Amino acid sequence: MDAKKTPLALGVCALLIVGGCALNTQQPNAHHKRETTAEEQPTRDEAPQIVEQSADEPAPAAPTENIALTIEEFIQRVDEARTRARPAPLDTDSVPFRTAIDEEPIGDPVPVTTAPASQPTAPDEAAVPTDAEDPNKAIDPLPDDNPGEAPVLGEVTVRAAPALNVHPVDPRRPAVNSATAADYVAPLTLSDFLDQVPAAPDATFREQLDRRLLCVLAGQYDEARAPLELVTAEQQELAARFVEALIVIRAGHIGDPSGAATAAARELAVLQDALRQVSDLSIDNLVLCSTVYSFGQYDAIEPPRFLAGRANEFVLYCEVGDFVSEVEADGQYRSVFDLTTTILNRAGDVVVELKDPQIVDRCRNRRHDCFIPRLVRLPESLSPGRYVAKITIADTLGQKVAEDRATFELTARP
């Protein structure tokens, strides 16, 4: 007999025993015959009578049939209890199951060894009722309500739990009257930093200049004055002047502030000259004047208006800055300019053009700026209207060009 049918058989036997006892009590005892009265005893002369039963009245059920029905109900209840206790199979094709799998966080999957499809996984032991008399007895698997091919789990992804930030415990414990030392490292000085970070062989102009400035702040003036590599002559001069001015300002004597300021101003002037070498040529002022006396001294024509039909003239005063000068053999500073003056009418046509190439200036001191006056004569044939005076200056030594414009008007006779 199978192990799972043993409790059922025991229950059936118990019900048969109880039903038999009930039948025995209901039947009269064979040894004790009930005495019949004279009225109950049939006469021999009377023929036996046949009692017919109505079809509407149900026949009394036999006791054995009631017992069979009770046993069937009990078996049905046991089967229903086992069906409810058995877990439902996992439906891997359902929408909630696939949605839950897709919403899992992305991580490093851990390989998992799964059983072959031909070997179904054993159901949970906690969900299967066990025999109370023998808990160690093997239990047969429950019958499947839906016979057929067992569901197969296609893919399982297992992810490791996130690592917890657990700080290690310092194994060193304090002890009484014991020497203790900490791993203390003093901050690096600027000199130590420069020693640990060597200069790159292919550093750019900015990177080399930054290192020179750090050397100045660290007091390493010799290394700060070292020439730069793979730069233009203008960049070399600019960096050298800037570093030298910073050294003079930083190393100025505290007891002689005037002397330190004078030395710093001298170095800053040299730095300014170096900046002019790489800056654009500038025209700071352009004015139509009647007379020019010197730098910044002139009589401006206000408003710049002339009568048409007659010869008119004016001086175009121009201030120039940020040009390049060269030192000649005699110690003078030489500057060279090319000047072009153009008069344009309202339509943009050139009515007057004056070219003055190779304007040379020499001076014992280096000029920071200068002025160039140009006398302009207007022809009598110009009609009334608004005109533009345009000036173009080229620094020949510095290879730089600048231009500016001023307007004037010719009016008819009243």
pLDDT in tens, 55-71: 455 555 555 557 777 78
Are both 288 and 396 inside the same structural domain?
A: yes
Are both 367 and 293 inside the same structural domain?
A: yes
How high is the pLDDT of residue 310? 87
Are both 288 and 367 inside the same structural domain?
A: yes
How confident is the model over 19-27, as a mean pLDDT? Answer: 51
How high is the pLDDT of residue 19? 57
Which of the listed residues 278, 312, 334 is the one where a domain comes to its end? 278
Sheet strands side by side (includes 369-378): 297-300, 282-294, 312-321, 369-378
What is the rounded distance in angstroms from the CA atom of residue 264 to the CA atom of residue 247?
A: 9
How high is the pLDDT of residue 117? 46
pLDDT grade for 159, boundaries at 50, 70 and 90: confident
Which of the listed residues 278, 310, 331 is the one where a domain comes to its end? 278
What is the rounded distance in angstroms from the CA atom of residue 312 to the CA atom of residue 301?
A: 12
pLDDT grade for 149, boundaries at 50, 70 and 90: low
Are both 341 and 387 inside the same structural domain?
A: yes
The 3-class SS string of the chain reads: CCHHHHHHHHHHHHHHHHHHHHHHHHCCCCCCCCCCCCCCCCCCCCCCCCCCCCCCCCCCCCHHHHHHHHHHHHHHHHHHHHHHHCCCCCCCCCHHHHHHHHCCCCCCEECCCCCCCCCCCCCCHHHCCCCCCCCCCCCCCCCCCCCCCCCCCCCCCEECCCCCCCCCCCCCCCCCCCCCCCCCCCCCCHHHHHHHCCCCCCCCHHHHHHHHHHHHHHCCHHHHCCCCCCCCHHHHHHHHHHHHHHHHHHCCCCCCHHHHHHHHHHHHHHHHHHHHHHCCCEEEEEEEEEEEEECCEEEECCCCEEECCCCEEEEEEEEEECCCCEECCCCCEEEEEEEEEEEECCCCCEEEEEEEEEEEEEECCCCCEEEEEEEEEECCCCCCEEEEEEEEEEECCCCEEEEEEEEEEEECCC
Range in 38-42, 293-297, 322-326 with the lowest mean pLDDT: 38-42
pLDDT grade for 320, boundaries at 50, 70 and 90: very high
Asked, for residue 175, whether it belongs to a domain, the answer is no
CA 343 from chain centre, in angstroms, equals: 59
Q: What are phi and psi of 57, to 5 degrees?
A: -85, 125
Among left, alpha and beta (phi > 0; psi -120 to 50; other), residue 148 is left
Asked, for residue 220, whether it belongs to a domain, the answer is yes
Asked, for residue 148, whether it belongs to a domain, the answer is no
Are both 348 and 405 inside the same structural domain?
A: yes
Are both 376 and 320 inside the same structural domain?
A: yes
Residue identified by tokens 């203008």 is 234
Are both 294 and 387 inside the same structural domain?
A: yes
What is the rounded distance in angstroms from the CA atom of residue 84 to the CA atom of residue 80?
A: 6
CATH number of 363's domain: 2.60.40.10
Kindly tell me if the per-residue pLDDT of 126 is higher than 50: no
Total domains present in the chain? 2
Asked, for residue 301, whether it belongs to a domain, the answer is yes
How high is the pLDDT of residue 195? 82
Buried b (16+ CB within 10 A) or exposed e, 213-246: ebbbebebeeebeeebeebeebbebbbbbbbbbb
How high is the pLDDT of residue 164? 57
Range in 107-116, 234-243, 277-286, 302-311 with the lowest mean pLDDT: 107-116
Kindly tell me if the per-residue pLDDT of 78 is higher than 60: yes
How high is the pLDDT of residue 241? 87
Asked, for residue 393, whether it belongs to a domain, the answer is yes
Structural domain of 340: 282-411
How high is the pLDDT of residue 56? 52
Are both 229 and 300 inside the same structural domain?
A: no
Which of the listed residues 278, 309, 341 is the one where a domain comes to its end? 278
How high is the pLDDT of residue 396? 92
Kindly tell me if the per-residue pLDDT of 205 is higher than 80: yes
Are both 345 and 384 inside the same structural domain?
A: yes
> How does the average pLDDT of the chain come out, rounded?
75
pLDDT grade for 116, boundaries at 50, 70 and 90: very low
Asked, for residue 159, whether it belongs to a domain, the answer is no
- Pairing type for strands 385-395 and 369-378 reads unpaired
How high is the pLDDT of residue 360? 93
Asked, for residue 217, whether it belongs to a domain, the answer is yes
Among left, alpha and beta (phi > 0; psi -120 to 50; other), residue 399 is left
What is the rounded distance in angstroms from the CA atom of residue 158 to the CA atom of residue 84?
A: 30
How confident is the model over 17-29, as a mean pLDDT? Answer: 52
Kindly tell me if the per-residue pLDDT of 225 is higher than 70: yes
What is the rounded distance in angstroms from the CA atom of residue 353 to the CA atom of residue 340?
A: 7
More confident call, 135 vs 319: 319
Of 363, 366, 341, 345, whose CA–CA distance to 354 is shortest?
A: 341
Range in 201-205, 206-210, 337-341 with the lowest mean pLDDT: 201-205
Range in 126-130, 230-234, 238-242, 385-389 with the lowest mean pLDDT: 126-130
Partners of 144 in the beta sheet?
none
More confident call, 396 vs 2: 396
Are both 199 and 287 inside the same structural domain?
A: no
What is the rounded distance in angstroms from the CA atom of residue 91 to the CA atom of residue 160?
A: 25
How confident is the model over 68-88, as a mean pLDDT? Answer: 76
Encoded amino acid at 402, one letter: A
What is the rounded distance in angstroms from the CA atom of residue 122 to the CA atom of residue 129?
A: 14
How confident is the model over 68-91, as a mean pLDDT? Answer: 74
Are both 273 and 384 inside the same structural domain?
A: no
How confident is the model over 283-288, as a mean pLDDT? Answer: 92
How confident is the model over 285-303, as a mean pLDDT? Answer: 93
Range in 69-78, 104-113, 294-303 with the lowest mean pLDDT: 104-113
Q: What is the pLDDT of residues 249-271, one digit of tens each?
A: 887 766 677 777 888 888 888 88
| Burial bucket for residue 53 (CB in 10 Å: 0-12, 13-18, 19+) | exposed
Kindly tell me if the per-residue pLDDT of 96 is higher than 60: no
* Sign of the torsion formed by the C-alpha atoms of 348, 408, 394 and 336: positive
Asked, for residue 44, whether it belongs to a domain, the answer is no
Kindly tell me if the per-residue pLDDT of 379 is higher than 70: yes
Are both 303 and 274 inside the same structural domain?
A: no
